[in-house]
Structure 1
Amino acid sequence: MTDVAYVVADGVATITLDAPDRRNALSVEMSRELVDAARTADSDPTVGAVVVTGGRHFCAGAVRAVLADTGRDPVEDSAYRNLETVYRAFTTIGDVGVPTIAAVRGAAVGAGLNLALATDLRIVSRTARFLSGFAQIGIHPGGGHFTLLNRVAGREAAAALGLFGEEVSGERAVELGLAWAAHDDEQVEGEAHALAARVATDPELARRVVRSFRCETAPGGVAWDVAVELERSPQMWSLRRKYGPSTEQAVRDPDA
């Protein structure tokens, strides 16, 4: 990989966008590498969480050339597929089967904001900048932008950012529910890793829990009685794993 770094420590896979010269704007190749990194984490049973970060500059959106090529001939096969690859960068992060955290410093703009919102949780710099940016460059939002904004922070925030072009700081993002916590710049990645490492101590359980979490918190949600039944099977699995016959035998005979 040239534009994306992938490291695993403490059961946490850290995926770092690493093209600071263009503020991590998503090229087609970078998007492919991001997809590959996410799939690598998903397929590794020792990974229990993923942190996505961009260092000083989270992600400035899609590379303008990708948008321009699509605009010249939207149904030309390679242009259509290239934009689809950029979309896949954040939809794959949204589907990866472990809990995910975005560690956001600098700006998250357009497709970069989609990438941050695709994760389960966001830890941000106090001075981070969240902005839609699509209308400001004369194009319609893409990648399910309004749905992502609405499901994380609600209709009012989706309107403010997506329709009216408001910019939100990291501290304001926490107030709006766009992020969980805001820290000084130098603390962001460490705080995100510490939070991810907590759930990653038990990767198998983390994968079961995040599946239920996403089902129950998807737009529209599920009825409480449905949620009770949805959680029953994985909870029974976890109880059996913790308290089942093999555990009882180990307690009775620790040298067995």
Structure 2
Amino acid sequence: MNFQDILYSVEDRVALLKLNRPKALNAMTLSLMEELGQAFDQAATDPAVKVIVLTGEGRGFSTGADLAATAAKPPLDVQGRLDLGYALDRYYNPLILKMRSLPKPVIAAVNGVAAGAGANLALMADLTIAARSSYFLQAFVNIGLIPDAGGTWILPRALGQQRAMGLALLGERLPAEQARDWGLIWEVMDDEQLLPGVLTLARRLADGPAIAIERIKRAVHAAAGNDLAKQLDLESDLQRECGRSLDFQEGAMAFVQKRKPNFKGR
């Protein structure tokens, strides 16, 4: 598939998706969001892809919604009033839900600024790794909006109510190292090592047991909406499936034989 606003490549079982509007610091248009959803679909159905890496081309990950594009062609409701909820319902929200439900792990490599919906897109990845000089910004309040693209969902769950509220109400930068120390992201890497380091991690996951990895992702994401009893039931169901896989047989045998397992995803 040919994309205009996404760079898409596959190498060594890793699909690399780059937001490709570098002159606009990868500000997100509706067409970019649509293409990103298509790129996720392509990676999800490609048997040669085991892991998906999302990053930004150029100096930044994404500054969020392209306000210039919105001003030039504002979304309107049937009465002719500005309707920002339309863009969320039609483009942003389905993309976030798709990203969270992909059977393959998604790693966000955050280079430079990740602001607004761009920040929350990065935080919705299964693992978020940031360059040391990068930062996250819930910029919405600065223009009279609320955090969207799942921001009001992920922030209090990851940080607690006070830190989430502070980020949303004050609209201040959160440096990458502080985001890591707060538990919002997984790791920080030196700028020049970000993409090589993330790709090394992605290949490590690609070598892992794909069946178990998909079910780990499903179980961890489900936990936020489950009580303990429901989560225990889910663990039982998913563990039953993992236990019937050839990957489990291989992993157990490799453990007994004190060798590295050779998982095949079956």
Residue ranges of structure 1 left out of the alignment (5+ in a row): 248-256
Q: 1:3 aligns with which of 2, 5, 22?
A: 5
Q: Cα offset for 1:41?
A: 0.9
Q: Which residue number corresponds to residue 31 of structure 1?
A: 33
Residue ranges of structure 2 left out of the alignment (5+ in a row): 254-266
TM-score (norm 2): 0.81
Q: Could you tell me how far apart the structure 1 residues matched to 2:86 and 2:148 are?
A: 14
Q: Cα offset for 1:221?
A: 5.6
Q: Does the 8 A contact of 1:117 with 1:152 survive in 2?
A: no
RMSD of aligned residue pairs (Cα, Å):
2.7
Query: Could you list the per-position Cα deviations for residues 4-41 of structure 1 after superposition, in whole angstroms to 9, with x for gaps in the alignment?
Result: 01111221111100111100010111111101000111
Residue 237 of structure 2 aligns to a residue whose secondary structure is: helix
Query: Could you list the per-position Cα deviations for residues 190-223 of structure 1 after superposition, in whole angstroms to 9, with x for gaps in the alignment?
Result: 111111111112444433332233223x345644
Q: 2:43 aligns with which of 41, 57, 60?
A: 41
Query: Could you list the per-position Cα deviations for residues 49-89 of structure 1 after superposition, in whole angstroms to 9, with x for gaps in the alignment?
Result: 11110032101001114544786734569966544313434
Aligned residue pairs: how many? 243
Query: Could you list the per-position Cα deviations for residues 83-107 of structure 1 after superposition, in whole angstroms to 9, with x for gaps in the alignment?
Result: 4313434332222221111100111
Q: Does the 8 A contact of 2:75 with 2:86 survive in 1?
A: no
Q: Does the 8 A contact of 2:146 with 2:168 survive in 1?
A: no
Q: Cα offset for 1:44?
A: 1.5
Superposition misfits of 4+ residues, deviation over 6 angstroms: 69-72
- 1:71-220 → structure 2 map (5 Å cutoff): 73-75=76-78, 81-83=86-88, 84-201=90-207, 202-216=209-223, 218-220=224-226
The answer to whether the aligner puts 1:62 opposite 2:65 as a matched pair is yes
Q: Cα offset for 1:242?
A: 4.5
Larger RCO of the pair (alpha carbons < 8 Å, separation 6+): 1
Give the stretch that moved more between structures: 79-88 or 118-127: 79-88
Give the stretch that moved more between structures: 84-93 or 161-170: 84-93
Query: Could you list the per-position Cα deviations for residues 165-200 of structure 1 after superposition, in whole angstroms to 9, with x for gaps in the alignment?
Result: 231101111001111111111111111111111111
Q: Quick one: structure 1 residues 229 and 69, their matched pair in 2 at CA, closer, same or farther if it must change by over 3 Å? A: farther
Q: Quick one: structure 1 residues 166 and 45, their matched pair in 2 at CA, closer, same or farther if it must change by over 3 Å? A: same
